[in-house]
Chains A and B, each alone.
Chain A
Amino acid sequence: MSPTPRKNERTLQQRSLGRQLLLSHLSVAAVGLAILCIALISTFELRARVNLLVNEGVPLMQASSQMLTGVQHSLANLRGWVSLNDQKFLDDWQVAWREDIQPALALLNQECRRVLEQACDLQRLQNLKALLADLRESQWWVQDIAHTPGNDPARVAYLLDVEPSADKLNSVIAALLQEEIAQDGGSERKILLARLAELQNAFATTHLLLREILGSNGLNYEEQFRQQLERTTATVAQLTTSPLPTPEQSQFLNLLRMELRAFTQFAQEVIRIRRSPNWNIAIHTLAQETDPLANQVIALASALAANSRMRLEQEAEAASAASSMTVGNLIALIFIMLGVAYVLSKQRAEFLALPLIALSKATRRLTNGGLNEDIPVERDDEIGELTRSFNTMRASMQQAHAELREANVLLEQRVSERTAQLAATNDSLTWEIAEHQQTEKALRESEARLLAITKAIPDLVFVVDEDGCYREILAARRDQIAIGPLRGKLLSQVHSPEMAEFFLDIIRRALATQRIQIAEYELATPSGLRWFESRTAPLEVQFDAKSAAIVVARDITQRKQSEAQLRQAQKMQAIGQLTGGIAHDFNNLLAIIMGNLELLHEQLTAQPRLHQLTQQALKAVDRGANLSRRLLAFARRQPLLAQPTDLNQRVLGMLDLMRRTLGATIQIDTILATNLEQTLIDPDQFENALLNLVINARDAMPQGGRLTLETANVQLDADYAAHEDVRPGSYVMLTVSDTGIGMTPAVLEHVFEPFFTTKETGKGSGLGLSMVYGLVKQSGGHITIYSEPGQGATVRLYLPPTVSAATPAAEPLPIADSAIQGQGEIILVVEDDADVRLFAVNALQGMGYEIQQAGEAETAIRLLERTPRIALLFTDIVLPGEMDGARLAAEAQRRYPGLRVLFTSGYTEHALIGSGQLAEGVDVLTKPYRKAELGKKLRTLLERGETGNG
């Protein structure tokens, strides 16, 4: 068999099988296409009808309805305008035309023209347009005339004809009356005057009634008007025939008669018009013209709407029918298509399936190893070709199978060798992986520890490279310092150029020296200025071939603040010690000067000039003593007689004094707590302190203002105490606020320092606030001052509360100056300063006491031993040697119980006085003292001893 005929035969066979398959598919496709065509035609038909419905019927119906609504609105609003004269109705009337009727008409016009004879009658539309134009015109005239006088023709006739006539009649009647009054005749003429008055009234009533007729119910007055007109006419007739009128009056009466005749004619005309149905043109036109026109428009529009509706219904029915038919057709065709497809498919399937089944069986045999038999070739089409190919494939497979078996044996050998190699490699890898996992575990643990450390430490820890770039942020206290994301940023992007350069310099130094660099600096952070202490250490690792350092920065702001407070406290302490020491020496000096001056003063009474000079000198010494006391107060060295004190009572008790001090231009407000706790303080010193504060406030308010005194129980918590030099706990607070000029921060910094003042020279000692400060601190309290320039100042004293009740201090019995004389009692004076001792001895001798004196304690003990009659020991607290005044007194009282002791001192830096609070039963006379003070104190002690003994 030659290849060419074989090829042609094969092609022919292929065509045969392809044709059969093509035929079956084409027949199915043809049926489907037929269904699609029918569905398409039906859909177009439906679409056309729905379009017709949507595009024609609906707009036409809408337009007709809108037209009807618009016309009804326009009529309603026009009636409202005619009846109520409210401009809103007129506006709405225009709106009805503009927004309802005209758009509806335009829509009708457009739709009708589009569909023309199908749903809309053009002639009917033209009629509608013409009617609408008539209606609009008619309505326009109604609205135009409705509220003009011309709307009421009777009123027009009245205005144009009756009113001029009535005016003339009134003027003639008035002239007649005037003329009659001018006659001044006898009683006869009074009849004429009465008649004329009657005529005037009658005509006025007539005129009034005629005007009433013009109203809406005016015709009710017609009969009354006629009767009144007759009365008026009769009165005129009577007057005309009367002999009383003068010739001039007769002329007036003629004129009156003629005018009344005209008036009557015009009035009748007015009534005639008023009675006519169109007496109100607007209402008449509405009823006669506008309403019928509107009714016609409504009828036409309704007809259009009805027509449209009918058309819509017809189209809807047609659409429904078309839809039903389409569905029926489609169902039938689908069944036909299914039948045809089934028959054709079945034939083709059988034709193709039988040889394929034979092939399938052969294939299964081939699978089971039956490679020895060929399948007989029975057909010459594609199936026959497939069978031949199958046989060829079977032969090839048989040969390949044999080769495969040989190759398989060889392959198994190679696999065994390779498996052995892989097992060895696998063991090696397993060991390496175990090593690697162990290393990773160690690394993770190390990282966890580092992370825990960085979390635990309160510092900022970060890594910065030599170029100033943040590489790692290991710990960042964002809660307190509020730093933003830093990684990858440069120092210069985060900090000011100066600070960035500063940090970079530290890092570079650390890298260059390979040593830790420590630095302190203040840094602006989003939460404000804060102090940091940084430790910068070089890192051995590199980042992108760049050296880097780790920086641990600690926020030391609180420490800095504490240091500043400590410094301030130490400063104040130092100043206190300094001033206390000075005051002590100063007091000793003053004591000498004062004592000697006093003695001199007594002896110079005979020389007035010298006596006066000593008096002035004594005053100066007093001032010096006062100054010294205030210095001691600041230095917390003044002896205090602390007792439970009610601050409210003290404040209220001082109000009069404060008012006098402050003057009329300053108002005092008090806000005193009702349940204020008591505080332990020397009340006299407290009053002195309060007065100082009030004076300061006064000086801060030269133009007047308001001073507020407030007391309260407050609680200072630990947070507050951490920032201030105070212990946390309960306190009694006194606030003194003024509305004065205030203070700058620079002034505030030094305000408690002694001799610091902003007042003019000579006006302030600069010791007021320092004395208050000392008193409060000495009393275990706390003081704050807040002020801003121009905003006044507020001073708050926090004093410790006490639970014991306030007891009024026992006032010592007053002792007159004349009763300070001694009665020969022996006084032992112990004073290390010879000059002071000399003054004391002289003064006491002058007062009649017998004196023993000593410069130190040991001599005093010996004197006590020698002179048991000593009634009182008067000793300086500070004495040289091992035994001071207190110990001396204790020893003396131990040996001689009942011995009275009076201490004296320049300041209170002694255990006897403690922190300034005098121990119970201890009497102290502070230096410098006057002779009289010494005398009184001695007499008090001696008399107390006698009373106690007795």
Chain B
Amino acid sequence: MIPWRTSLKLMFLIVVFSASATDINAPAIPPPTESNAAAVAAISRQMEVFSRDLEQLRLFMGVAKVSELDIGIRSDLPRDLYFQTLTLWQKTDRLMFEVVRTHSPAPSVPVGDIDMQDILPTLQQAHRLLRQIMGELKLAETTEMALVPLATDLFTAILNLNRQLDSLLERHFAPTDVYTEVTLAVGYAARLLAHYPDAIRIPAEPPFEPNKLPSDVYRRLIACLQSITRLFQALELPVLTVDIRQIDTTHLTPNDVFVVASLIVSQLDLLHKHLGIAKLPPQSIYPGLKFPAHSYQRAGILQAQLEQLECYASAHCSTPSGNIRHESDTPEK
């Protein structure tokens, strides 16, 4: 006989996630329509142009070319592409502030599901900012440099653009940005856990462990992402793939860690929307001195939250709050 609490949870999960799954399935794996193909082509073309102009700007600013780095994540889902494009826009805006001393209004986030058509406008806005920067620097658009076709998929390409753009910034994406993004993810997870009466929405913060490197934060966030992946798989939702077995983590920068954090936010945002949660998580900014150790500590909260969610999503979860734990070291090497 199933205890009444467990049966309550199961019922709750079935109602919530089955509805969500059916909603997600339709737009998440878009049928190979003409419009989608056109959107992908347009995005690809826009990225090539952005890449060319960024290269011109890089040369003008005398910044070394950044090597491409595989962070072990692959995705062709619009929401992942969109959030990385949004990061590209944020970095371009920051660069514009540093050069032109102006900010641009943030692009409006699409209401409802994100599809390929939502990506291009954001990418174009980012490109316009880039052009504005070039204009400020009296850097005329050149046609001498030919467009270089993308050598990778869109997701990897946009990650590389982000990485190169970060190198041009005076104020790089730093641990403080990672901390802010992880805190945002904690807020999302707390909102999701609010559906479960017995859940501990924000578990106790794990003890502060100094001497952490970006690679340590990366591993903990990857563990979170893997937890989300399992959650999505349990719900039969499409999800990005994570494989870090061949990844060299020694050269990871806070920028790369931020990518992982923003991907977590994008996944949680999807669940958040599809559960119809009206209340948005608090979006705080934590400027000032933060170290990878701080982000590592905060990611511990997120990890414990995701383990609870994972437990609730499984059919045999018993008192998940009693099993909350924090890995003192990175779960996967």
A residues contacting B by CB (< 8 A) are 126, 129-130, 133-134, 136-137, 140-141, 144-145, 148-151, 153, 156, 159-161, 164-165, 168, 258-259, 262, 265-266, 281, 285
Q: What is the bound-complex CA distance between A231 and B220, given in angstroms?
A: 53
Contact bitstring B41-61, A, C-beta under 8 A = 1, else 0: 000000000000000000000
Contact present for B197 and A148 (CB under 8 Å)? no
Contact present for B287 and A150 (CB under 8 Å)? yes
Q: What is the bound-complex CA distance between A137 and B190, given in angstroms?
A: 8
Contact present for B282 and A141 (CB under 8 Å)? yes
Contact present for A156 and B194 (CB under 8 Å)? no
B residues contacting A by CB (< 8 A) are 97-98, 101-103, 180, 183, 187, 190, 194, 197, 199, 201-202, 282, 284-288
Q: What is the bound-complex CA distance between A259 and B190, given in angstroms?
A: 42
Q: What is the bound-complex CA distance between A151 and B284, given in angstroms?
A: 7
Contact present for A285 and B282 (CB under 8 Å)? yes
Contact present for A265 and B102 (CB under 8 Å)? yes
Contact present for A262 and B285 (CB under 8 Å)? no
Contact present for B284 and A137 (CB under 8 Å)? no
- Partner of A156 from B197, B201, B202, B285 at Cβ < 8 Å: B285
Query: Can you give 6 A-B contacts (C-beta < 8 A)?
Result: A133-B197, A133-B199, A136-B202, A141-B284, A144-B284, A262-B101
Q: What is the bound-complex CA distance between A153 and B194, given in angstroms?
A: 27
Least CB distance from A168 to B in Å reads 8
Contacts of A144 in B (CB 8 A): 183, 284
Contact present for A137 and B201 (CB under 8 Å)? yes
Contact present for A161 and B97 (CB under 8 Å)? yes
Contacts of A133 in B (CB 8 A): 194, 197, 199, 201
Contact present for A150 and B286 (CB under 8 Å)? yes
Contact present for B288 and A149 (CB under 8 Å)? yes
- Partner of A140 from B97, B194, B199, B202 at Cβ < 8 Å: B202
- Partner of A149 from B102, B190, B199, B286 at Cβ < 8 Å: B286
Contacts of B98 in A (CB 8 A): 164
Contacts of A165 in B (CB 8 A): 101
Q: What is the bound-complex CA distance between A1 and B287, given in angstroms?
A: 128
Q: A-B pairs with the 9 shortest C-beta distances?
A: A262-B101, A150-B285, A150-B284, A140-B202, A137-B201, A150-B286, A145-B284, A129-B197, A149-B287
Contacts of B97 in A (CB 8 A): 161, 164
Contacts of B282 in A (CB 8 A): 141, 145, 281, 285
Contact present for B288 and A148 (CB under 8 Å)? yes
Q: What is the bound-complex CA distance between A159 and B97, given in angstroms?
A: 13
* Chain B at the A interface: SS class: loop
Q: What is the bound-complex CA distance between A841 and B101, given in angstroms?
A: 141
Q: What is the bound-complex CA distance between A164 and B95, given in angstroms?
A: 13
Known contacts A148-B284, A150-B284; 7 further A-B pairs (Cβ under 8 A): A144-B183, A148-B286, A150-B287, A165-B101, A258-B101, A266-B101, A281-B284
With both beta carbons as reference points, the residue of chain A lying nearest to B281 in the complex is identified as: A141
Contact present for A153 and B285 (CB under 8 Å)? yes
Contacts of A148 in B (CB 8 A): 284, 286, 288
Q: What is the bound-complex CA distance between A145 and B282, given in angstroms?
A: 10
Least CB distance from B98 to A in Å reads 7
With both beta carbons as reference points, the residue of chain B lying nearest to A155 in the complex is identified as: B287
Contacts of A126 in B (CB 8 A): 197
Q: What is the bound-complex CA distance between A159 and B197, given in angstroms?
A: 40
Contacts of A285 in B (CB 8 A): 282
Contact present for A134 and B285 (CB under 8 Å)? no
Contact present for A136 and B201 (CB under 8 Å)? yes
Contact A161 B194, CB 8 Å, known A150-B285, A150-B286, A156-B285: no
Contacts of A134 in B (CB 8 A): 194
Q: What is the bound-complex CA distance between A592 and B126, given in angstroms?
A: 141
Contact present for A262 and B286 (CB under 8 Å)? no
Contacts of A161 in B (CB 8 A): 97, 103
Least CB distance from B204 to A in Å reads 9
- Partner of B194 from A137, A164, A259 at Cβ < 8 Å: A137
Least CB distance from B154 to A in Å reads 30
Q: What is the bound-complex CA distance between A133 and B286, given in angstroms?
A: 25
Contacts of B202 in A (CB 8 A): 136-137, 140
Q: What is the bound-complex CA distance between A156 and B201, given in angstroms?
A: 28
Q: What is the bound-complex CA distance between A497 and B81, given in angstroms?
A: 104
Contact present for B194 and A160 (CB under 8 Å)? no
With both beta carbons as reference points, the residue of chain B lying nearest to A132 in the complex is identified as: B197
Contacts of A149 in B (CB 8 A): 285-288
Contact present for B101 and A259 (CB under 8 Å)? yes
Contacts of A262 in B (CB 8 A): 101-102
Q: What is the bound-complex CA distance between A165 and B97, given in angstroms?
A: 9
Least CB distance from A642 to B in Å reads 93
Q: What is the bound-complex CA distance between A126 and B8, given in angstroms?
A: 12
Contacts of B102 in A (CB 8 A): 262, 265
With both beta carbons as reference points, the residue of chain B lying nearest to A282 in the complex is identified as: B284
Contacts of B180 in A (CB 8 A): 150
Least CB distance from A641 to B in Å reads 95
Contacts of B197 in A (CB 8 A): 126, 129-130, 133
Q: What is the bound-complex CA distance between A144 and B197, given in angstroms?
A: 23
Q: What is the bound-complex CA distance between A265 and B104, given in angstroms?
A: 12
Contacts of B187 in A (CB 8 A): 141
Least CB distance from B199 to A in Å reads 8
Least CB distance from A406 to B in Å reads 98
Least CB distance from B291 to A in Å reads 14
With both beta carbons as reference points, the residue of chain A lying nearest to B194 in the complex is identified as: A133
Q: What is the bound-complex CA distance between A266 and B100, given in angstroms?
A: 13
With both beta carbons as reference points, the residue of chain B lying nearest to A127 in the complex is identified as: B197
Contacts of B101 in A (CB 8 A): 165, 168, 258-259, 262, 266
Q: What is the bound-complex CA distance between A136 and B199, given in angstroms?
A: 12
Q: What is the bound-complex CA distance between A137 and B279, given in angstroms?
A: 13
Q: What is the bound-complex CA distance between A210 and B199, given in angstroms?
A: 45
- Partner of A160 from B190, B199, B286, B287 at Cβ < 8 Å: B287
Least CB distance from A808 to B in Å reads 93
Least CB distance from A97 to B in Å reads 10
With both beta carbons as reference points, the residue of chain A lying nearest to B183 in the complex is identified as: A144
Q: What is the bound-complex CA distance between A159 and B102, given in angstroms?
A: 15
Q: What is the bound-complex CA distance between A134 and B180, given in angstroms?
A: 22
With both beta carbons as reference points, the residue of chain B lying nearest to A165 in the complex is identified as: B101
